[in-house]
Amino acid sequence: MFPKHKGAQAIQSESPFHINLSKSSYTPGEEINITLSADDRRAFIGLQIKAHKAVGDKEIILGTFTSFPSDKLKPVDCFGESQNLITHKNNLPVTEVQLSWQAPPVNEGDIIFTATFVEDFRTFWIHVEARLNSTTPYVPLYTPKVSPITPEIDFDQCGATFGCVLYPTYCTGDDCTEGLTFRYRHDHITFQLFAKADNYVVVGFSHDKKMGEDQTIGCTASNIGVSIQHGWNHPDLYNARIYLGNSLSNMTTMEKDGMVYCSFTRPMVMSLPHPEHPNVTFKYDLNQDYYVMLAKGHTYRGSDVLGYHTQLPVTTWSKVNFKSHEIYRAGSLPLLTKIHAVLMISAWIFFAGLATTMARYYRHIGNTSKGTATWFKVHRFAAIMVFLCAAAAIVIIFLKVKDITTKAVTHGWFGIAVLSALLIQVLSAIFRPEPHEMSRPVFNFGHWFFGKTAQVLAADKELRRDAQVKQQASCGDILALIFYLLLIFLILSAGVLAVFLF
């Protein structure tokens, strides 16, 4: 019920749009007419509306929408039920829509209709509500609550009485930025999560180290309260929220001193319905070993909706045995990704710099060996290494991801363009004309042009890489790189000056 419009936040002022019900109370199975509009007749382009209990488990969506303008709206089947949520199917502006909703066949107590109205891409209101009272008394079923107080973690017991996942690699407990503990007890397991985060921490159980078909349990703590949510990582790389009823117990969540803490007990075996195909279920049995993923970030203002994590999720190096008392370590970058990065850094920071430096500063300095200048031998070696490192880096990353991923389309295509420019450089150098030939100036210009093109594309490629990786690069990292490049420039310039002077 929260539009994820590139980080846009909901408007906090009172909504100009309203939910008007044809009746103030209902009986089971009764049909209620609903009008959605603004007092000043202003238009809206987007809409979502659902009904839930006023008291008790508010995750359950109640009733069925039986009538709606099909040219603007469409029904959604949530949590295995039919047409229990309405949303828009286009962005055509409307000033009013009318719906019909049928109450559930049994008394569910007082009911709250909750709507989201979108005026434009960055202007929307959430939690617009209308109350529908029950005509008969109702006693709500017991629903476990999430306590805002979480017990402290005794890190001295990690590896002794319970197992732990800790990050970064060198941390021991209180100095860790994120992690979890797990304690096996018969057919249940108790987790305690912690992370240095704005509002939420999420644990995922994965068969592999990639996002997709993973069970997730997320904990939020913000100014509107605390919550624990079930989810499922879709293969299309987004997290779908799932309703699983009272499947967890001993739930706590809190935020303190910039840290989010959370604990809960879950059965060893859980089944999750596919969010789009409820008849399809996924079984997650912690009697088996899984990779553990940890993600953290912020919730959208005024809601418990998880925002996109701003840093790469942490994943254990090996699968976790949840019945053990072992300490597991985790990292945010897979090994192949690290090798890719090392090769690219070697290519563009070291070898490309060496090739350019030799051609710029040392081509008129030094002796020749067997008719070939020393500077040219170094230049040629460095240029070949740039090509080999870049080619190896691209092959390795394609072996990992199998394709150009949707999150790195520009980065991937720029990488291919860089490799193409380097290949042209290498092939043209093989057929380099002699200095006295008329085509030599053309070669010199082309060699310079494709070399600079490759460098510019490589620099732009780095700027366009995954936003999560960029945000994890600190200001100190960038300053260190700038200092390194300036230092190399000064050393080489001083060397050339010394040769001419002495």
**pLDDT tens string 288-326:** 999 999 999 999 988 888 988 878 889 999 999 999 999
SS3 state of residue 447? helix
What count of Cα atoms within 13 Å lies in the side-chain half-sphere of residue 252?
A: 15
63 within 8 A of 104, measured Cβ to Cβ: yes
Q: What is the pLDDT of residues 34-48, one digit of tens each?
A: 999 998 999 999 999
| Residue 454 pLDDT | 78
Q: What is the pLDDT of residues 144-158, one digit of tens each?
A: 888 888 888 999 999
Q: Indicate the range of 191-195, 225-229, 276-280 predicted with least confidence.
A: 276-280
What CATH number does the domain located at 335-501 have?
A: 1.20.120.1770
- Residue 269, strand partner residues: 285
Judged against a pLDDT cut of 80, whether residue 334 lies above it is answered with: no
pLDDT, the chain, mean: 86
| Residue 470 pLDDT | 47
The CATH T-level fold of domain 155-331 is Immunoglobulin-like (2.60.40)
Span(s) in the chain for CATH 1.20.120.1770:
335-501
CATH architecture of the domain covering 17-134: Sandwich (2.60)
Give the DSSP per-residue string, 65-124: EEE--TTTEEEE--TT-SS-EEEESS---BSEEEEEEEPPSS---SEEEEEEEEEETTEE
Judged against a pLDDT cut of 50, whether residue 396 lies above it is answered with: yes
What count of Cα atoms within 13 Å lies in the side-chain half-sphere of residue 286?
A: 24
Judged against a pLDDT cut of 70, whether residue 4 lies above it is answered with: yes
d(CA 432, CA 359): 15
**2: confidence class by pLDDT, cuts 50, 70, 90:** confident
Cα maximum dimension of the chain: 102
d(CA 421, CA 411): 15
**471: confidence class by pLDDT, cuts 50, 70, 90:** very low
| Residue 366 pLDDT | 59
Q: What is the pLDDT of residues 417-435, one digit of tens each?
A: 888 888 888 888 888 888 7
Judged against a pLDDT cut of 60, whether residue 475 lies above it is answered with: no
Give the CA distances from residue 322 to residues 163, 197, 206, 327, 398, in Å, rounded to whole numbers and listed in that order.
Answer: 7, 25, 13, 11, 33
Span(s) in the chain for CATH 2.60.40.4060:
17-134
Judged against a pLDDT cut of 60, whether residue 5 lies above it is answered with: yes
Judged against a pLDDT cut of 80, whether residue 193 lies above it is answered with: yes
Buried b (16+ CB within 10 A) or exposed e, 102-112: bbbeeebbebb
169 within 8 A of 128, measured Cβ to Cβ: no
**227: confidence class by pLDDT, cuts 50, 70, 90:** very high
Kindly report the pTM of this predicted structure.
0.73
Question: Between these two residues, 359 and 193, which has the higher pLDDT value?
Answer: 193
Q: What is the 3-state secondary structure (H, E, C) of 362-421?
A: CCCCCCEECCEEHHHHHHHHHHHHHHHHHHHHHHHHHHHHCCCCHHHHHHHHHHHHHHHH
Span(s) in the chain for CATH 2.60.40.1210:
155-331
d(CA 3, CA 87): 11
Q: What percent of the chain has pLDDT over 70?
A: 89
Mean pLDDT of 443-468: 69
d(CA 218, CA 146): 12
| Residue 360 pLDDT | 76
Q: What percent of the chain has pLDDT over 90?
A: 48
Judged against a pLDDT cut of 90, whether residue 204 lies above it is answered with: yes
